Structure 1
Amino acid sequence: MSYSPTLRGSYSQFDPDVAAGETVALRVNLSCVEDEQPVHHHRKGQLVLALRGSVTCRLSDALMMVLPQSGVWIPSELPHSNQASPDSQIIFLFVEPDALALPARPCILSISPLIREMVIHLADHGDTFPEQAYRAQFCQALLHQLSGSPVEQLSLPISTHPKLRSVCNALIDNPADRRSRAEWASMVAMSERTFDRLVMKETGQSFGRWRQQLQLVVALRDLSGGASVQQVALALGYESTTAFIIMFKKAFGVPPGQYMLDRRAHVAADLAEEELLDKARMPCSR
């Protein structure tokens, strides 16, 4: 099943919990406008993949960006919302809670090219498998691969405290906001010391470290979506591109341009390896 602007109504009414099968994949094609699902939950766990564009998954205590070669895993019954960038192409994989051994908490998983292609195949051809036994075997192989996916540390903790939540939401909506710690504390009617203690208690990080983590997550999302380093630096409120590059390099060890090149090269190598393995499995022609 796929979704386009003309099918918005049917997509909003799609219920993965009544869809046939313990594993269901849904391709979603969005128009040129930003789209956001309201907070919801379902019995099936959900893996969110972005084939084009980006997706931001919001949970009660975390913000997770769906980046290329990664996916956000949302366990069963966990309330969440998904916000997609304009002209995105997304695939949702829904899995019954007892069908897959994955973390009980939401997380970002590294997605191999093999898993990605299998999910795409299930989304596009899930209703046309020659027989149910073959479909079940295919889904079992997919879930086996997915259960071995490593977890990436790219999520952002979000406080559920009402005052801090307002600060979090303001910075998520405008990462370029450069108000000082003192100004944020004043905005929520707190002293700087009380504000600092609360931020540390709620997020496990200092306010400066938390804000930098937010900027890194947003930067990776936008760079993955095709924005230039200069555009990202400007969007995050940096006075110069150089200052942004220095911050990024301290966090990841390489400049943003090199980071994206390395990530794409890694994926290309994985794809080439899969092609070689496929050829090796093919019977020799006489």
Structure 2
Amino acid sequence: MTGFSLRYPWPNLDPDDVAAPAIAVRLEVTEHKVEVAEHQHRKGQLVFALGGGVMCRVPTGLWMVPPHCGVWIPGGMRHTNIATANARILFVFIEPGAAALPDKCCTLSISPLLRELMIELSDRGRDDAVRETLLTQMLLSELPRMPVQQLHLPISEEPRLRRIATALAEDPSDRSTQAEWAARVALSESSLARLVLRETGLTFGRWRQQLYLIVALSELSGGASVQQVSADLGYESVTAFITMFRKALGKPPAKYLSDIARDRGAAFVV
């Protein structure tokens, strides 16, 4: 596929055709941002970013994959992955029932131990079946213990809400008011407010801010500067963007990412 370089633990495989309880696959994106066409697997899939930024789009939401987390996509769920330029991604495909994992999409924190287990499994061929089995057993034991993070944008099948979400994802700098968005989808402002709250559990402003956080984390993880991200999101000043980020995640962007790198072992060269 154009824009990707795949590194499988053994060549020419379809993960769904492999009987192993878990299989890890490396993917490296070239210099251009890439979105994989919508697809699904029989196996569940964990998407983990070794470098750069990745987002996963599923029917019910948009999920961010920051450097310290993985997004779990249950088997059979249609999805697409969106990667920043030069991202390095690790996929772990897991047989249904092989581990006690959620039946819904979610973001999981990934410990340094689990990170290294996944990397090691992705580097193994079938030349050492005993070691591969041990790595797989440890991985499947550790993964269900990882805490869930709330780094996603809830989206329903409601067509007007999906239209707004798609437009904002394509142009997050659009600063149209709630009233202006309501007019675009032929609703009153109060009707749109009720629709967003009913379908997502969030107010319109909080829902849009969650999208900003997802886009910001994706771009910052991909190497963009705070100034560039602030401009891309349509903020009038860098200070305003940093204030929003700090209120939402408890730390300014640089501190948040540096703490992730320190705490999760991102300094390892892969």
Residues 186, 69 of structure 1: CA spacing in aligned structure 2 closer, same or farther, 3 A cutoff?
same
Residue of structure 2 in register with 1:15 after alignment: 14
Q: Is the 8 A contact 2:246 2:253 kept in 1?
A: yes
Please show how residues 1-286 of structure 1 align to structure 2 within 5 Å: 5=4, 15-129=14-128, 132-268=129-265
Give the 3-state SS of the residue equivalent to 2:71 in structure 1.
Answer: strand
Which amino acid in the other structure matches residue 233 of structure 1?
Answer: S
Offset at residue 60 of structure 1 (A): 0.5
Give the RMSD, CA atoms, in angstroms. Answer: 2.1
Offset at residue 77 of structure 1 (A): 1.0
Q: Which has the larger radius of gyration?
A: 1
Q: Is the 8 A contact 1:17 1:42 kept in 2?
A: yes
Offset at residue 4 of structure 1 (A): 7.4
Residues 165, 261 of structure 1: CA spacing in aligned structure 2 closer, same or farther, 3 A cutoff?
same
Distance 1:117 1:141 in 2: 11
Distance 1:270 1:53 in 2: 13
Which amino acid in the other structure matches residue 250 of structure 1?
Answer: K
Offset at residue 261 of structure 1 (A): 2.2
Distance 2:155 2:266 in 1: 35
Distance 2:172 2:263 in 1: 29
Identify, as 1 or 2, the structure richer in helix: 1
Distance 1:195 1:6 in 2: 43
Distance 2:115 2:14 in 1: 23
Which structure has more RCO (C-alpha within 8 Å, separation ≥ 6)?
Answer: 2
Offset at residue 194 of structure 1 (A): 1.1
Distance 1:45 1:6 in 2: 22
Distance 1:92 1:224 in 2: 18
Q: Is the 8 A contact 1:25 1:126 kept in 2?
A: no
Offset at residue 174 of structure 1 (A): 1.1
Give the 3-state SS of the residue equivalent to 2:264 in structure 1.
Answer: helix
Offset at residue 270 of structure 1 (A): 11
Distance 2:247 2:131 in 1: 49
Distance 2:37 2:95 in 1: 22
Give deviations 1:157-199, integer Å, cap 9, x for gaps. 0121111111100001111110111111000111111111111
Offset at residue 34 of structure 1 (A): 2.2
Distance 2:13 2:115 in 1: 22
| Count of equivalent residues | 263
What TM-score comes out, normalization by structure 2 length?
0.91
Which amino acid in the other structure matches residue 60 of structure 2?
Answer: D
Q: Is the 8 A contact 1:39 1:79 kept in 2?
A: yes
Offset at residue 127 of structure 1 (A): 2.7
Distance 1:6 1:54 in 2: 16
Offset at residue 128 of structure 1 (A): 3.0
Give the 3-state SS of the residue equivalent to 1:73 in structure 2.
Answer: strand
Worse-superposed segment, 82-91 or 72-81:
82-91
Which amino acid in the other structure matches residue 29 of structure 1?
Answer: E
Distance 1:258 1:7 in 2: 32
Which amino acid in the other structure matches residue 241 of structure 2?
Answer: F
Consecutive unaligned residues in structure 2, runs of 5 or more: none
Give deviations 1:106-143, integer Å, cap 9, x for gaps. 111111121111111111113332xx333222201111
Offset at residue 14 of structure 1 (A): 5.3
What TM-score comes out, normalization by structure 1 length?
0.86
Give deviations 1:233-275, integer Å, cap 9, x for gaps. 111100100111111121122222222222222224998xxxx
Which amino acid in the other structure matches residue 198 of structure 1?
Answer: L
Distance 1:158 1:35 in 2: 22
